[in-house]
Structure 1
Amino acid sequence: MQPRRLLTVIALIFTLISVGGYQWHKSEYPALAKAPNMETVNKPFKAASVQFNPILNERDKNVDELLKVTEEAFKKGARLVVAPEMSTTGYYYADRESIKPFVDTIPGKTTAAFEKIAKKYNSYIVFGMPEVDKSSDLYYNSAALVGPEGYIGKYRKTQMWESETHWGAWGDLGVPVFDTKLGKIAINICMDSAYSETARLAGIQGADILAFPTNSSAQAISALPARAQQNGMYVVSANRSNTENGFHMIGGSAIWSPEGKKLAEAPVVMTPKEDVNETTVTYATIDPKQYENENKQMLQKRRPELYKELMQTVAPWDYTKNTTPHDITAAALQYEPVIGDKDRNKEKITSLIKEAKTENPELNLVVLPELSLTGPVTGMDKKEIGPLAEDTSGETVQFFAGLAKQYQVSIVAGLIEKQSNKLFNSAILFSEDGKIAGSYQKTHLNKSDETWASAGSSLPVFKTKALGTIGILVGEDAAYPEAAGVLAVKRADIIAIPSAWNGQYGGEMEINKIVSANPYPEGSMVTWDAVAIGAQAYTVVANYVGTDNKYLGRSSLYTLDPLYALDQPAAASADKEEALVVKFTTIQPTAWFNQEMLILSRQPAYFKPLIEE
Structure 2
Amino acid sequence: MANAAEVKVAAVSFHSKDQAYNIPKMSEISAAAAKNGARLVVFPEMSSTGFLYPSINEAKPNMDTFPGKATEAFGRVAQKYNTYIAWGYIEFDPATGVAYNSAAIVGPNGFKGNYRKHQLAVGDDNLWRAPGNLGFPVFDTPIGRIALLVCYDDTQLQSLLLPALRNADIIAYLTASLYNPKSEAGGSDNHTTIGSMATLPGWIGINVVGADSSGVDKVMEMTLIGPGGSSIWGAQGNVLASASATNFTDPKQPKVVYATINTSKSNPQREFWLKTRRPELYADYNFYRPTHDSNVNNVSAQVSAVLVQYEPKTGAVEENSKVIDRLIDEKILGQGLNLAVLPFNSFIGNETITKENVAKFAEPLNGKSYNIAANLAKKYQVNLLFSMPEVADGKYYETAILFDFTGKQIGLYRKSHLNEVEKTWATAGNELPVFNSPIGRIGVVLNDEAHIPEVTDMYMLKRANLLLVPVAYNQKDYGGDVKIPKGLIPEESNKGMFIWFSMAQHSQAFTLVANYVNGAHGDVGQSALYSLVLEEGFYPPNIAPKDKELAHQVVFATNQNQNLWTNQQQKVVERIWQAALPLTLPKDNACFQEWQKNSTSPIICKGLYK
Asked if TM exceeds 0.5, the reply is yes
Q: Deviations over 1:149-190 (max 9, x none)?
A: 223211111111231211200011111111001011001111
Match of 2:452 among 458, 480, 498: 480
Alignment correspondent of 1:382: 355
Question: Superposed, which structure 2 residues align to 1:335-484 within 5 Å?
Answer: 335-358=310-333, 361-378=335-352, 380-465=353-438, 467-484=439-456
Please say which of residues 449-458 and 240-249 is displaced more in the overlay: 240-249
Alignment correspondent of 1:267: 244
TM-score for the superposition, normalised by structure 2: 0.90
Is 1:512 matched up with 2:485? yes
Gaps of 5+ in 2: 180-190, 587-610
In 2, distance between residues paired with 1:251 and 1:109?
Answer: 25
Question: Superposed, which structure 2 residues align to 1:311-322 within 5 Å?
Answer: 311-322=286-297
Alignment correspondent of 2:575: 602
Note if contact 2:399-2:414 (Cα within 8 Å) is conserved in structure 1: yes
Is 1:98 matched up with 2:58? yes
Question: Superposed, which structure 2 residues align to 1:271-282 within 5 Å?
Answer: 271-276=247-252, 278-282=253-257
Superposed displacement of residue 491, structure 1: 0.7
Note if contact 1:184-1:207 (Cα within 8 Å) is conserved in structure 2: yes
Note if contact 2:493-2:535 (Cα within 8 Å) is conserved in structure 1: no
Superposed displacement of residue 518, structure 1: 6.6
Note if contact 1:364-1:410 (Cα within 8 Å) is conserved in structure 2: yes
TM-score for the superposition, normalised by structure 1: 0.90
Alignment correspondent of 1:535: 507
In 2, distance between residues paired with 1:220 and 1:600?
Answer: 21
In 2, distance between residues paired with 1:87 and 1:237?
Answer: 13
Alignment correspondent of 1:34: none
Match of 2:534 among 562, 572, 585: 562
Amino acid corresponding to residue 148 of structure 2 in structure 1: I
Alignment correspondent of 1:19: none
Note if contact 2:364-2:390 (Cα within 8 Å) is conserved in structure 1: yes
Amino acid corresponding to residue 549 of structure 2 in structure 1: E
In 2, distance between residues paired with 1:171 and 1:103?
Answer: 16
Tell me the C-alpha RMSD between the 2 structures.
1.6
**SS of match in other structure, 1:433:** coil
Note if contact 1:310-1:482 (Cα within 8 Å) is conserved in structure 2: no
Alignment correspondent of 1:167: 128
Is 1:329 matched up with 2:304? yes
Q: 1:321/1:514 Cα in 2 relative to 1: closer, same or farther (>3 Å)?
A: same
Please say which of residues 561-570 and 67-76 is displaced more in the overlay: 561-570
**SS of match in other structure, 2:167:** coil
Superposed displacement of residue 553, structure 1: 1.3
Match of 2:43 among 83, 98, 102: 83
Match of 2:137 among 176, 179, 182: 176
Superposed displacement of residue 521, structure 1: 6.4
**SS of match in other structure, 2:502:** helix
In 1, distance between residues paired with 2:413 and 2:226?
Answer: 42
Q: Deviations over 1:506-565 (max 9, x none)?
A: 11111035432371265x100101110010000000011112211121110001112224
**SS of match in other structure, 2:463:** coil
Note if contact 2:354-2:421 (Cα within 8 Å) is conserved in structure 1: no
**SS of match in other structure, 1:143:** strand
Note if contact 1:112-1:151 (Cα within 8 Å) is conserved in structure 2: no
Q: 1:49/1:509 Cα in 2 relative to 1: closer, same or farther (>3 Å)?
A: same
Match of 2:522 among 518, 535, 550: 550
Alignment correspondent of 1:497: 469
Note if contact 1:225-1:261 (Cα within 8 Å) is conserved in structure 2: no
Gaps of 5+ in 1: 1-36
Amino acid corresponding to residue 248 of structure 1 in structure 2: I
Alignment correspondent of 1:257: 234
Alignment correspondent of 1:128: 88
In 1, distance between residues paired with 2:131 and 2:497?
Answer: 33
Q: Deviations over 1:420-470 (max 9, x none)?
A: 1211111111100110110111122223322322211111101112x1111
Q: Deviations over 1:299-345 (max 9, x none)?
A: 23211111111222221123431111111111111111111110111
**SS of match in other structure, 1:352:** helix
In 2, distance between residues paired with 1:253 and 1:541?
Answer: 31
In 2, distance between residues paired with 1:128 and 1:137?
Answer: 19
Note if contact 1:412-1:430 (Cα within 8 Å) is conserved in structure 2: yes
Alignment correspondent of 1:41: 4
In 1, distance between residues paired with 2:509 and 2:262?
Answer: 36
**SS of match in other structure, 2:244:** coil
Note if contact 1:128-1:142 (Cα within 8 Å) is conserved in structure 2: yes
Note if contact 2:484-2:494 (Cα within 8 Å) is conserved in structure 1: no
Q: 1:297/1:319 Cα in 2 relative to 1: closer, same or farther (>3 Å)?
A: closer
Q: Deviations over 1:173-211 (max 9, x none)?
A: 111111001011001111111111101111111111000
How many residue pairs match? The answer is 566
**SS of match in other structure, 1:492:** coil
